[in-house]
Structure 1
């Protein structure tokens, strides 16, 4: 599998675009609606948003060497107590991801990554490219859950297809 810097830039842009759309939909809900148990793996919209942000922060700490978020997966659902705080941290993390994607090299992507996994309770070593794909896949997985919960709450998100993202067909990230 070839994971390139262009792929990372494209997916970082897609991630930020989607997070902006999801934030706008969430802002139309009440606090009670955001925190209502909805039968998803992490329960509510807010808890799932928090877990997704926590996961992105954790993966970025492994990629860029900066600090990881506090706590483990169990605490991830309480990362930000309010949607406003989540929005600030989400924006910061999306910017961090975009900056990393702008700088990442083919050499870095062809290497390996080693970290202590709290989920597996052991050191893990994996190809960096697989870790990058996992991070972006993890986002898509949980955004799908959030999308379903928002739809059930009567909200519309807007386009979610990668090929409909504004400016997808411009610059060096053109689809071939």
Structure 2
């Protein structure tokens, strides 16, 4: 089982890394962000859309946010770049606030949800679902980081131990 401190650390890491990727991607043209670069979700924009969509989906399950209306995989979630950047920052703040309010009991028990991806009801220990959300973020952010680097952008290093700490 994980502790609330783990969740708080990864919520802060998620926010830090997303800000880095979005700042780096904002230096590209819209055409560069949308270009099919051969990644799993093809482009920087589509990959960031999927990541936002998935985080909204997990927060709907874990914290009661409304489910995103865009169907899986969410790559067409938000077409407007500026709105995607704004929504990402808002969601990251929400995730940090949610994590800061967790007690150990909030990570116990099972999470049950309906999953289109899995084709029906899904059930996992709540702490596994939370851990999966952060793992999923890191996975796709790594893809975006590679795409941005190949395009000449310079996002921050991704090492957790380099994350600035807030006193």
Q: Which residue of 2 aligns with 1:173?
A: none
What do the CA deviations read for 1:37-65 (whole angstroms, capped 9, x no partner)? 01111110000000000000000111111
Over aligned residue pairs, what C-alpha RMSD do you find? 1.1
Q: 2:123 aligns with which of 105, 122, 125?
A: 125
1:94 to 81, 92, 95: 92
Given the two structures, how large is their TM-score scaled by the length of structure 2?
Answer: 0.97
Counterpart-to-counterpart distance in 1, 2:106 and 2:96: 16
Tell me the TM-score normalised to structure 1 length: 0.92
Consecutive unaligned residues of structure 1, counting only runs of 5 or more, are 171-176
Could you tell me which residue of structure 2 aligns to residue 174 of structure 1? none
The CA deviation at 1:111 is 1.3
Separation in structure 2 between the aligned mates of residue 72 and residue 116 of structure 1, nearest angstrom: 13
Gaps of 5+ in 2: none
Shift of 1:66: 2.1
Q: Structure 1 stretches (4+) deviating beyond 4 angstroms?
A: none
* Shift, 1:159, TM fit: 2.0
Displacement after TM superposition at 1:82 (Å): 2.0
How far did 1:31 drift?
0.6
Q: Deviations over 1:139-166 (max 9, x none)?
A: 0000010011001101111221100000
Corresponding residue of 1:63: 62
Tell me how far apart the structure 1 counterparts of residues 99 and 17 of structure 2 sit (CA, whole Å): 17
Secondary structure in structure 2 of the residue aligned to 1:158 = coil
* Residue aligning to 2:20: 21
User: How many pairs align?
Assistant: 167
1:56-104 C-alpha deviation (Å, 9 max, x unpaired): 0000111111211112214x01111122111111011101101110111
> Residue in 2 aligned with 1:167?
165
